Amino acid sequence: MSDIKYLETHEWYLINEEVITVGISDFAQNELGDIVYVTLPEVGQDFEKGAPVVEVEATKTVAEAYAPMDCTITEVNSQLETEPETINNDPCGDGWMFKAKVNAIDDSGMSYQEYETFVS
């Protein structure tokens, strides 16, 4: 898990060569409560760093997950369309949201320890 980085907006990402996998942190899913619906991007869509990519509807509120860097969507976790609760059960594993080709590397995320300090 040490390769996973976190953002102040509560996303996590993992870079594997030029592809990033992105989801929301355990802290974020816990704050949101039961996730009931997820709106995923289309494969091929381009996003700039900081742009909203995924909309997450929970029983308490609606939140967005943002692009950690400039990227083009290559894959979405379609399981979330029918089982959005996967994010609650395994936010940093099976609950990943999208994978994307990195167009501009910006690996400025926090380590797990830095993120833990940030949210406490």
Q: What is the mean pLDDT of residues 93-97?
A: 97
What is the spatial distance between Cα 24 and Cα 54, in angstroms, rounded to a whole number? 10
How far lies 120's CA from each of 29, 92, 110, 114, in Å?
15, 19, 14, 10
Residues 6 or more apart from 50 whose CB is under 8 A from it? 66, 67
Give the confidence band of 1 by pLDDT, cuts at 50, 70, 90.
Answer: very low
Please, what CATH class does the domain formed by 5-104 belong to?
mainly beta
Q: What is the pLDDT of residues 9-59, one digit of tens each?
A: 999 999 998 999 999 999 999 999 999 999 999 999 999 999 999 999 999
Task: Find, among 83, 48, 98, the residue nearest to 69 by Cα.
Answer: 48
Torsion angles phi and psi, residue 85, rounded to 5: -65, -15
Map out the domains of the chain as residue ranges.
5-104
